[in-house]
């Protein structure tokens, strides 16, 4: 049997815990795992593109556990009442190859993306960025989780938001004001970022969009750019990317999918884990630090293992009958057609 966490069970579990505390714990778990980055098998995700969007498989393993996530990215979906991103994932035991845990990952992706962005803010921002409001460009499915992670890690309570869809801003205001956070809706990105320290861009459009122009930024900032995550799908002005000190998850994947698609292939970038592990110094002199995030398999590995530790032995997981296990492992036929079924007792 394989332990399974459904959408409904995850929803119920999250309603029993403090989301901020959970995101702090997840961020710590990501930080610890980024320190042992070199123990992991690193491969860019396998992407299947179509005119509608993309469907991706994101695998990795550390020689003890293997994990993969199935995830899509379909910006047109919200127009017909569907989500841009849905996902599920699996952890398996490397020694036997047997899956041990399967979970919904649409919500888990939002959690790990928020915890990863907050971790990037921790290592790449400057203290003066954290005393100011956070600008959110894009108020969609990821937005609340981004705000709550930054509240939990840094105490940020003021958010300046721009989205082309006024209803998305109203939704964010409604959800965050219930948690005591202040959300101001602004008519443009330039206005949203004016007094901000940290900036998060998280918009969805399957093209090279510019949601933040270079001349929108006249001060020092840390940017978490999350929405540009496919070939031909970027969010930032190339001039802004060009003048930023750029950090990425896994360079080989980000060259294909991130904002740095817009730069020469030998442009300077640093993988975030190198800063977290102490191999490289945190940035000090740069005016703009940019975390060009596309989402990497190790983040999914971490959130799946984190949730498995928390949920195993609780009523929020159930067993699913996913693996055929004949009593005689060589008699799969007898297991299916034999009179006793031949299942392991």
What residues are annotated to the active site? 229
Asked if 214 and 150 count as a contact pair (C-beta separation under 8 A), the reply is: no
3 vs 115 by CB, closer to ligand NAD: 115
217 vs 317 by CB, closer to ligand NAD: 217
92 vs 141 by CB, closer to ligand NAD: 141
Site residues for ligand NAD per CB under 6 A: 73, 78, 84-85, 109, 113, 137-142, 162-165, 168, 202-205, 209, 211, 226-227, 229, 293-295
Q: How far apart are CA 70 and CA 51, in angstroms?
A: 19
| Reduced 3-state DSSP string for 244-309 | CEEEECCHHHHHHHCHHHHCCCCCCCEEHHHHHCCCCCCCCCCCEEEEECCCCHHHHHHHHHHHHH
Shortest distance in whole angstroms from residue 292 CB to ligand NAD = 9
Helix runs in 35-131, H state only: 106-124, 127-130
Of 300, 243, 240, residue with least CA distance to 87: 300
159 vs 335 by CB, closer to ligand NAD: 159
Shortest distance in whole angstroms from residue 106 CB to ligand NAD = 9
Shortest distance in whole angstroms from residue 61 CB to ligand NAD = 20
Residue nearest to ligand NAD (CB): 140
62 vs 292 by CB, closer to ligand NAD: 292
Burial of 215 (0-12, 13-18, 19+ CB in 10 A): exposed
Q: Please, which residues bridge with residue 186 across strands?
A: none
Asked if 139 and 168 count as a contact pair (C-beta separation under 8 A), the reply is: yes
Q: How far apart are CA 11 and CA 170, in angstroms?
A: 23
Shortest distance in whole angstroms from residue 252 CB to ligand NAD = 16
Report the side by side order of strands in the sheet with 288-292: 182-185, 158-162, 134-137, 198-201, 221-225, 288-292, 245-248, 270-271
27 vs 99 by CB, closer to ligand NAD: 27
Tokens 């003021």 map to which residue? Answer: 158
Q: How far apart are CA 98 and CA 94, in angstroms?
A: 8
166 vs 329 by CB, closer to ligand NAD: 166
Asked if 141 and 226 count as a contact pair (C-beta separation under 8 A), the reply is: no
Shortest distance in whole angstroms from residue 84 CB to ligand NAD = 4
Q: How far apart are CA 311 and CA 10, in angstroms?
A: 9
Residue 53: helix, strand or coil by DSSP?
Answer: coil
Shortest distance in whole angstroms from residue 118 CB to ligand NAD = 12
Shortest distance in whole angstroms from residue 28 CB to ligand NAD = 18
């Amino acid at each position: 049997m394989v332990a399974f966490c459904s959408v409904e069970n995850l929803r119920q579990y999250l309603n029993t815990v403090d989301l901020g505390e959970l995101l702090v714990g997840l961020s710590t778990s990501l930080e610890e795992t980024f320190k042992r980055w070199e123990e992991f098998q690193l491969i860019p995700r396998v992407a299947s593109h179509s005119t509608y969007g993309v469907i991706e498989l994101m695998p990795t393993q550390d020689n003890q556990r293997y994990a993969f996530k199935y995830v899509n990215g379909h910006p047109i979906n919200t127009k017909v009442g569907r989500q841009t991103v849905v996902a599920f994932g699996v952890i398996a035991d490397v020694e036997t190859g047997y899956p041990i845990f399967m979970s919904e990952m649409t919500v888990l992706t939002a959690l790990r993306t928020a915890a990863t962005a907050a971790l990037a803010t921790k290592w790449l921002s400057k203290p003066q960025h954290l005393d100011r409001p956070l600008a959110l460009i894009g108020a969609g499915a990821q937005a609340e989780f981004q705000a709550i992670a930054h509240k939990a890690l840094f105490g940020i309570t003021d958010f300046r938001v721009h989205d082309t869809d006024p209803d998305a801003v109203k939704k964010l205001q409604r959800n965050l004001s219930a948690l005591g956070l202040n959300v101001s809706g602004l008519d443009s990105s330039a206005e949203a970022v004016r007094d901000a320290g940290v900036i998060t861009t998280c918009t969805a459009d399957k093209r090279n969009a510019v949601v933040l122009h270079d001349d929108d930024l006249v001060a020092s900032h840390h940017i978490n750019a999350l929405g540009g995550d496919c070939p031909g799908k970027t969010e930032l002005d190339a001039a802004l990317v060009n003048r930023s000190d750029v950090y990425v998850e896994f360079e080989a994947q980000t060259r294909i999918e991130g904002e740095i698609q817009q730069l020469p292939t030998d442009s300077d970038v640093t993988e975030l884990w190198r800063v977290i592990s102490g191999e490289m110094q945190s940035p000090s002199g740069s005016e703009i630090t940019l975390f060009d995030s596309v989402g990497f398999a190790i983040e999914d590995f971490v959130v799946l293992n984190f949730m498995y530790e928390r949920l195993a032995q609780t009523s929020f997981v159930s067993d699913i009958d996913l693996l055929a296990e004949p009593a005689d492992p060589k008699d799969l036929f007898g297991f299916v057609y034999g009179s006793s079924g031949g299942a392991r007792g």
